[in-house]
A and B are shown apart, each in its own frame.
Chain A
Amino acid sequence: MTSLRILVPIKRAIDYAVRPRVNAAQTAVETAGVRHSMNPFDEISVEEAVLLREKHSPKTVEDIVAVSIGPPKTVEALRTAMAIGCDRSVHVEIPEKADMLEPLQAAKILKQVVDREKPNLIIMGKQSIDDDFSQTGQMLAGLLGWGQAYGASEISVDGDTLTVKREVEGGTDVVKGKLPMVVMADLRLNTPRFATLPNIMKAKKKKIDKLKLEDFKERAENRLKTLKVAEPPTRQGGGKVENVDGLISKLKELGAL
């Protein structure tokens, strides 16, 4: 029986309840002074890692490590992950004002974190709700040469094989794979528990390894250039017509008749 060493990459994103605003220069979405929280899909993957530990004997899951790449405040997201049940975490720090990393960059860094932590199962959210690339997991699996399961709605472990039910268009797809594997969580995998206040306080005692971006040898450059970010046009309100004649003349006016 191989023991599981789970790595959970997470991201701190703008909270799902916040209405994003475009900044004055129209180059990005305003992030200063906006409430952030852990990406909902990542919460689901953290919960799944903890559930795997609770479902199986304690020895099955040896270690759950959360990892995040982001500005200093990302520590909050890591604390939440540890409050839910991760054992320790790794924080790859990038400067506050730096651009967000693109999926390939993130995947390359995560690969080196994997080389360091030696997990045999990676559970991550299928996408983040801020830039919605939904590529990092697949790229990471490709770089590592591991099997992957995208959009998991059920995970079961038996020895060193993993059976994952995937949500696909119009049904479910069941894939079976041998560890090591990368699993990307979908929305219906589980219901994440709430990180309670006492648990967050306890999580402060858990270890966070700090790494700098410069510590990583293999890097990629950001390849995309944002030309302009704009809000969708506001919807024009409809008008009311008095009677049938009014309706017909309106339709004629618009060229529909």
Chain B
Amino acid sequence: MSTLRHEVLAIYKDLLYLGRRYPLGYPYFRTRCHAAFARNSALTDDAEIRRGIERAAYVKREIEALYSLTKYRAMKQRYG
């Protein structure tokens, strides 16, 4: 139980850190991210919590991809 709790907290922190440079602004990201975690706060089943963590990890990968793609596109436009 407690290890899962730490996993959830860790991924939440990671997401918040990533959200600092979100294109629509940090407040936009933070409220939505917080709401998404709050929605699932009542989960008690281990398997379900794990699914939630996986989903968060997926979102994290997507955001990282979004950032590197925007950066790549900006650089490509400027320097070819």
Query: B-contacting residues of A (Cβ < 8 Å)?
Result: 16-17, 40, 127, 129, 187, 191-192, 194, 196-198
Contact = CB atoms under 8 A, between A and B. Distances in A.
B17 interface: yes
A197 B17 contact: yes
Contacts of A194: 18, 64, 67-68
A187 B75 CA distance: 8
Interface of B: 10, 13-14, 17-18, 21, 64, 67-68, 70-72, 74-76, 78-79
A40 B75 CA distance: 8
Given A191-B72, A197-B17, 19 more contacts: A16-B74, A16-B75, A17-B21, A17-B70, A17-B74, A40-B71, A40-B75, A127-B79, A129-B78, A187-B72, A187-B76, A187-B79, A192-B68, A194-B64, A194-B67, A194-B68, A196-B17, A197-B13, A198-B10
Nearest to A35: B21
Nearest to A16: B74
Nearest to A44: B75
A65 B57 CA distance: 31
Nearest to A191: B68
Nearest to A192: B68
Contacts of B78: 129
B23 to A, nearest CB: 8
